[in-house]
Chains A and B, each alone.
Chain A
Amino acid sequence: MARVKISEYRAKKILLGDAYKGIFVHAGQSYSAKASKGTLVVKVDQGIKKRFKQGLVAVGVTPSQALKKIAEWKKKGFSQFLLEPLVPHEASEEQYLSLERVREGIRILHAGEGGIDIEAHPEKVKTYIVATDADVKKVANAAKISEGFLQHLVGTFNKNFFAFLEINPLVIQKGKTYLLDAACLVDSAGAFFTDSWGEDDIVTTGSEHPAEARVEAIAKTTPASLKLSVVNKNGALFFLLSGGGGSIVIADEAALEGAGKFIGNYGEYSGGPSREETYLYAKEVIELMLASKAKKKALVIAGGVANFTDVKKTFTGIIDALSEYAPKLRAQKIKVFVRRGGPNEKAGLELMQEFLEREKLFGSIHGSETVITKAVEDAIAFTGV
C-alpha cells in the first residue's frame, strides 16, 4: 500500500544479477577482511539520505580499513553495510539517472553531468516519459545512454514492482555502465507477485516503537487496515481513530486548536476489522496512554460515518480492551470522548455510553448528527492543553 525502501545491495543484485560483486554485511554477523581484495568502497546501507555528506561512505579503502569503518559505524548504531570494489573514474564521467512510476508510465530524469551535486543544478536535468517499449529507444537516443542498458533497467523496474530508482552517480566508461550508488523504493503491494525482494530487504530507520511493531504485525494478518504511530510518548491526547481521511480531519482539529504537540499518537483502523482485531489494536493505544507522564489525559475514540465498518462490532472490541484497564484508567482520571457513525451506529453508541458511565470513564459521546471534530474538541477542553 505504500512505497518502501529496500537495501542498495538488494536493488543492485536485482538489477545486475551475478555480475554484481558487492558484499552485504549485517552487524550481527562476523566478517573477515580476507573475503575482499583490492581497493573498496564501504557504506552504510540502511536507506539513509545524503550518506556522503554525513560521512557514512568511505571511498578507496583497503579491506582492513573498511572493517575499521564498519566497527566505527556500528558504534553509532548502524547495522547494515555494503562493500563494493572501487570503480576509478573522473568526476566528469558522473551522470544522474532516476526512474519513477507515474500515471503515464515511467518518468525518467537524466543529467549528463552533475553526479552527487545534482540537486544544486536542476536546470541540467531532462525529463522523459516511457509509456511503451518504443519510447525506450527514443529516450536512450535523446539521453545518449545505451538502449540495451535502459531497456534492461525499465524491464527490471516493471518486473520487480519498483516504484522509484535513483542511480547517482551513473558512470559510463568505454560503453560499460556502472551503478555507483543506487536508491530504490519498491511498491509494497507487489510483494505477493515477486520473490526477488522480501521483508528482509526493506530498510527501516530503526527507531520504531515496540507498540508500532506489534500493530504492524497484527495488520499483516488481516485485510482490514490498522496503523499506529507514536508521536509523543508523554502526550495528553490519545487517539483511537477510524478511517484514513477522517482520522486526519480529527487530528487537524487538534492542530488548529493549538494542541498539536500534545498528541500522543496518530493511527487509524478501517476496512471492517473484527472485534478481536480492534481489541488488540485498542490495547496498544491504551497502554501508550497509561505510560504517558502527562498530568491530564483523554482518549478520543472518533471517526467519520463508516461505510461498512460495523460500529457495534468494533466498539465491542474497544470495550473489551477498556474493561481490562478500567481501574488503571480511573486511577489516572482519564476520560473517554467519542464521535462515530456508520452501520449499527445506534447500538454501538448505546453500548459504549452504558459502559463508560458504568465504569466512570465517560467524557462525551456523539453520533453522526454531530460534526466529526466534536469529540476531539471536548477532549481538548477537558485536558486544558
Chain B
Amino acid sequence: MKNVLELVRKGTTGILVVGNHPGIVQSILDFDFLSGKKGPSVVAIVGGARKAQKFFFGPSELLLPCFPDIGPIPRSFHGRISWMLNVRSGRRAFDSSIAFFERFPNALGGHLFAENIPERHATELLRRFGNDKLIAGPSGVGLLVAGHLKLGAIGGTDIAQIEAGNLTTEGSVAVVSTSGGMTNELIRAVAGARKDLSFAMCIGGDRFPITSLTDVLLLAQHDPKTNAVVYFGELGGVDEYEIVGLLEKKKLTKPVVAYIAGIIDEAFDEHMQFGHAKALVARQDESARAKRDALRKAGAIAPDTFPEFLAELKKLPGETFHATVLTMDSMKNRRPSVLSTREVVDLDAVPTFVKNKKLIPQKRGFAAAAFEALLDKKLRSDVTAAFAEAVLQLLIDHGGEVSGAVNTMISARAGKDLVSSLSAGLLTIGPRFGGAVNAAAEQWLSGVVQDDAATHFVEARTKGGKLLAGIGHRKYRVGIPDPRVAAISQFAGLLKEHPHYDFAREIEAVTTKKSGNLILNVDGVIAALALDILAECEKLSPEELRELAACEFFNALFVIPRSVGFIAHFMEQKKNDEGLFRLPEELLYVRKSKGKGR
C-alpha cells in the first residue's frame, strides 16, 4: 500500500462504480476532463438492467458500459480496473465489496459510501483487505489525489466546486478527515490558505474505518509530494491517539495541524450522540478537549477555534498556490442529448445510378424482386430495376431525429421486442411523416391529367394554408440543392418524356418564388419519376397508375426500406440499452393540472 499514491500518479486510476449515483460519476468525469485526461477514469458501472449510461466528458457525451453484476464483466475490462467506488446502501455494500476484491485481487483499493454498514461487516472487510488495500469508509466521501484520481463525492459534485477547490493542481498538503462535509471544508480551507493539495482522504465517521487513520498518516509521511497534514476529528473514539502515538515515536515527522470538534459537548448535562456513529463520548479520554490536549503535547498544532485553525494553515510549508486556469465555459451550459444513436446509413454519401445520362447497369436483386412482387409483373426495363434499387437504398434511414425512428427507439428502450418496436415506428408513417410519397404521386397524377397551369394548381391546392405533398425541405433550399433529389432526377435523362417530373418541377418553380425552402423534395421526385418510369418503361396506363396510387404502392416505396432503418435503430438501442426512456422535465403544460405548480 505504501506506493499507492505513486501508482495513481503514474495513471493507475481505473474505477469500477458499484451501484447507481450518476451525480458522483459525472463529477469524476468532470474532474478527469479538467485534469487534462484523455478519457474517463470510470471504466464501467455495475447495477441495474441497462447496458450503458450517458455522461458528459467535457463538453461532449459518451456512453459508459453498465453490467448487472460484477460477474459478467468481460475479461477485456479487467486490466483497466484498479479501484472500487461502492455507492450501494449499507444493506448491499458488504457483499458487493467482497465480490469486487475477490474478482479484482490486484485492485489498489476503494471507497464504501454508505452509512449504516454494520460494524461486523466493516471489521470483516478490514480483516480481509485492510492490510494491502487503501479503502476509504465505510461512509464519508472517499479519496482524492489532486490532478489524478477522484474516488467519490470528495471535493464536491459541481464543476464550480472542482475549480474552487483547485482539485486538479498537484500540491503538497494532505487533508485527512473523519467527516465528509468537513473534508470538503478543509479542501477549501487549504485553497483559501493559498496552498495546493497533494491528496485528501475521508476515513469516514463510522467506528471501524477500513483503512485506519494510522495507515493514512503513514501514507502521507511516505508520500514525497506531501509536506504537511491537515486533520479534522471529532469527539468520540480514540483514533486521535494514533496520531499522538505516531508523533511520539517519530513515525510521523511532517507538521500536523488538527482541529478536534466537540467542545460543545461540555455545555450539555449529558454526553450527546452527535451526527456520526462514533461521535459520542463514552470515556473521558474520548472528549474533544482531552484529544486536543494530547495532540498538542505530542507536537501537533491543535488550535481551540476554527478561525485560529484556518490561520495556522497559512503558515504551513509548501509552495504557494498556483491555480490552474480551467476552461470551463464549454461545460457550463451543456445539456444532455435526448437519445443516443448512430448514423444507420451515411447520410452524406449519395450513390450514383446514372452517369453522363447513361444508366450504370445494376444486377437485379432484392429491389427489383420487390417491385415485381408489388406490381405483379416481370420488369421489362433495366431502368426500372435500377430506379427500384436507388429508391430503396436512399430511403433506408434519414437520421434518428425523425418521428418514426424516435418511436422505434423509445419502444425498444421500454423493453419491447423487434416486431413491436418496428410496428411503433411504422405506425407513425402517415400524412405528416413518410406518407408523402403516395400523396405526391396522386398530386402529380391529377396535375398532369388536368393539364392545369402550375400557378393555378398551386393556388388551388394551398388554399387555407394547406401544404403541397413532395414540396419543401427544412435544410435544403434554392442554392443548396438536396443531393439525393439530384441523384434521382438523373433518371429523367434516361426517358423520352417525363410529364410528371416536368410538372413537379413547374410546381417547384412557383413555390420557390414564395420561399427558397419550398423545393421539390425526395418524396416528390421519387413519386414523379416512379410515375414516369412505370408509364414509359413498364407501359403502365394512366388508369393502372391511379390504381397503384389508390392502393398506396408509392408509400410501400418508403415503408420497405425504412423498415430496415427502424430495425437498425431498434438493434442499436438494444445493444446500448440505457433503460426506460423519459423526456427531461421540460414539458409545456398547456393546461394547469390540479396540485401542480408549487
Taking Cβ atoms with an 8 Å cutoff, the residues of A that contact B are 1-3, 101, 103, 105, 131, 158, 161, 163, 187, 189-190, 192-193, 223, 225, 227, 229, 231, 242-249, 251-256, 260-261, 263, 266, 268, 270-271, 303-308, 341-346, 368-369, 371-373
Of all chain B residues, which has the CB nearest A248?
Answer: B261
Contact partners of B117 in chain A: CB under 8 A: 189
In the complex, what distance in Å separates the CA atom of A310 from the CA atom of B565? 42
B433 touches A (CB below 8 Å): no
Of all chain A residues, which has the CB nearest B177?
Answer: A245
B179 and A243 form a contact (CB under 8 A)? yes
A307 and B264 form a contact (CB under 8 A)? no
Contact partners of A263 in chain B: CB under 8 A: 264, 267
| Chain A facing B: main interface SS | mixed
Q: Which 4 A-B pairs have the closest CB atoms?
A: A245-B179, A260-B267, A244-B275, A243-B181
* Interface size counted on chain B using CB atoms at 8 A: 65
Q: Which of A2, A105, A246 contacts B123 (CB 8 A)?
A: A105
In the complex, what distance in Å separates the CA atom of A247 from the CA atom of B181? 9
Of all chain A residues, which has the CB nearest B232?
Answer: A245
A338 to chain B, nearest CB (A): 16
Of all chain A residues, which has the CB nearest B233?
Answer: A245
Q: Which of B89, B157, B158, B181 contacts A270 (CB 8 A)?
A: B181
A373 and B127 form a contact (CB under 8 A)? no
B361 touches A (CB below 8 Å): no
Contact partners of B263 in chain A: CB under 8 A: 252, 255-256
CB 8 Å contact bits of B216-234 with A (1 = contact, 0 = none): 0000000000000000101
A248 and B157 form a contact (CB under 8 A)? no
8 Å CB interface, B115-148 against A: 115-120, 123, 126-127, 141
Q: Which of B208, B267, B274 contacts A255 (CB 8 A)?
A: B267
Of all chain B residues, which has the CB nearest A255?
Answer: B264
Of all chain A residues, which has the CB nearest B239?
Answer: A103
Q: Which of A244, A304, A372 contacts B205 (CB 8 A)?
A: A244
8 Å CB interface, B241-289 against A: 259, 261-264, 266-268, 272-277, 279-280, 288
B161 touches A (CB below 8 Å): yes
B510 touches A (CB below 8 Å): no
Contact partners of A346 in chain B: CB under 8 A: 160
Given contacts A103-B126, A105-B123, contact A249 B261 (CB under 8 A): yes
In the complex, what distance in Å separates the CA atom of A227 from the CA atom of B212? 27
Contact sample, A vs B, 9 pairs, CB 8 Å cutoff: A103-B212, A193-B118, A231-B272, A245-B185, A246-B181, A248-B279, A252-B305, A305-B181, A342-B161
In the complex, what distance in Å separates the CA atom of A306 from the CA atom of B183? 9
Of all chain A residues, which has the CB nearest B142?
Answer: A307
Given contacts A245-B180, A252-B306, A254-B264, contact A344 B185 (CB under 8 A): no
Q: Which of B155, B158, B182, B305 contacts A246 (CB 8 A)?
A: B182
Q: Which of A105, A244, A345 contacts B181 (CB 8 A)?
A: A244
A343 and B235 form a contact (CB under 8 A)? no
Contact partners of A225 in chain B: CB under 8 A: 115, 275
Of all chain B residues, which has the CB nearest A247?
Answer: B275
Given contacts A266-B272, A342-B161, contact A245 B234 (CB under 8 A): yes
Of all chain B residues, which has the CB nearest A132?
Answer: B127
Contact partners of B155 in chain A: CB under 8 A: 307
In the complex, what distance in Å separates the CA atom of A131 from the CA atom of B192? 45
In the complex, what distance in Å separates the CA atom of A161 from the CA atom of B123? 12
Given contacts A189-B118, A270-B275, contact A307 B156 (CB under 8 A): yes
A2 and B273 form a contact (CB under 8 A)? yes
A249 to chain B, nearest CB (A): 5
B274 and A187 form a contact (CB under 8 A)? no
Q: Which of B116, B120, B205, B206 contacts A245 (CB 8 A)?
A: B205
In the complex, what distance in Å separates the CA atom of A21 from the CA atom of B272? 36
A244 and B307 form a contact (CB under 8 A)? no
Of all chain A residues, which has the CB nearest B208?
Answer: A103
B544 to chain A, nearest CB (A): 67
A245 and B156 form a contact (CB under 8 A)? no
In the complex, what distance in Å separates the CA atom of A190 from the CA atom of B117? 8
B118 and A190 form a contact (CB under 8 A)? yes
A368 and B273 form a contact (CB under 8 A)? no
In the complex, what distance in Å separates the CA atom of A131 from the CA atom of B268? 38
In the complex, what distance in Å separates the CA atom of A256 from the CA atom of B265? 11
A373 and B307 form a contact (CB under 8 A)? yes
In the complex, what distance in Å separates the CA atom of A242 from the CA atom of B179? 12
In the complex, what distance in Å separates the CA atom of A247 from the CA atom of B275? 8
Contact partners of B157 in chain A: CB under 8 A: 307-308, 343
Of all chain A residues, which has the CB nearest B261?
Answer: A248
In the complex, what distance in Å separates the CA atom of A123 from the CA atom of B304? 36
Given contacts A255-B264, A308-B24, contact A248 B274 (CB under 8 A): yes
Contact partners of A244 in chain B: CB under 8 A: 179-181, 205, 234, 274-276, 279
8 Å CB interface, B176-206 against A: 177-185, 188, 192, 205-206
B181 and A304 form a contact (CB under 8 A)? yes
B91 and A192 form a contact (CB under 8 A)? yes
Contact partners of B212 in chain A: CB under 8 A: 103
A39 to chain B, nearest CB (A): 36
Given contacts A187-B119, A305-B188, contact A261 B267 (CB under 8 A): yes
B235 and A1 form a contact (CB under 8 A)? no
B188 and A243 form a contact (CB under 8 A)? no
B23 and A189 form a contact (CB under 8 A)? no
B153 touches A (CB below 8 Å): yes
Q: Which of B89, B192, B235, B268 contacts A223 (CB 8 A)?
A: B89
A261 to chain B, nearest CB (A): 6
B310 touches A (CB below 8 Å): yes
A379 to chain B, nearest CB (A): 15
B42 touches A (CB below 8 Å): no
B185 and A266 form a contact (CB under 8 A)? no
Of all chain B residues, which has the CB nearest A262?
Answer: B267
CB 8 Å contact bits of B12-50 with A (1 = contact, 0 = none): 000000000001100100000000000000000000000
Contact partners of A192 in chain B: CB under 8 A: 90-91
A255 to chain B, nearest CB (A): 4
Contact partners of A190 in chain B: CB under 8 A: 118-120
A356 to chain B, nearest CB (A): 20
In the complex, what distance in Å separates the CA atom of A308 from the CA atom of B259? 23
B73 touches A (CB below 8 Å): no
- In addition to A161-B118, A242-B181, A249-B306, 9 A-B residue pairs with Cβ atoms within 8 Å of each other are A1-B206, A2-B273, A131-B127, A231-B268, A246-B181, A249-B185, A270-B181, A308-B27, A342-B184
B245 to chain A, nearest CB (A): 14
In the complex, what distance in Å separates the CA atom of A247 from the CA atom of B310? 17
B448 touches A (CB below 8 Å): no
Q: Which of B188, B259, B268, B274 contacts A247 (CB 8 A)?
A: B274
Q: Which of B184, B273, B274, B306 contacts A307 (CB 8 A)?
A: B184
In the complex, what distance in Å separates the CA atom of A305 from the CA atom of B268? 27
A1 and B181 form a contact (CB under 8 A)? no
Q: Which of B259, B261, B264 contacts A266 (CB 8 A)?
A: B264
In the complex, what distance in Å separates the CA atom of A354 from the CA atom of B49? 43
A252 and B262 form a contact (CB under 8 A)? yes
Q: Which of B126, B180, B266 contacts A243 (CB 8 A)?
A: B180
Find the residue from B27, B118, B304 having the highest chain A CB count within 10 A.
Answer: B118
8 Å CB interface, B391-432 against A: none
In the complex, what distance in Å separates the CA atom of A342 from the CA atom of B157? 8
B276 and A341 form a contact (CB under 8 A)? no
Given contacts A245-B261, A253-B305, A256-B305, contact A268 B275 (CB under 8 A): yes
B488 touches A (CB below 8 Å): no
B241 to chain A, nearest CB (A): 13
Given contacts A192-B91, A245-B232, A260-B266, contact A303 B181 (CB under 8 A): yes
A248 and B264 form a contact (CB under 8 A)? yes
A266 and B153 form a contact (CB under 8 A)? no
A344 and B277 form a contact (CB under 8 A)? no
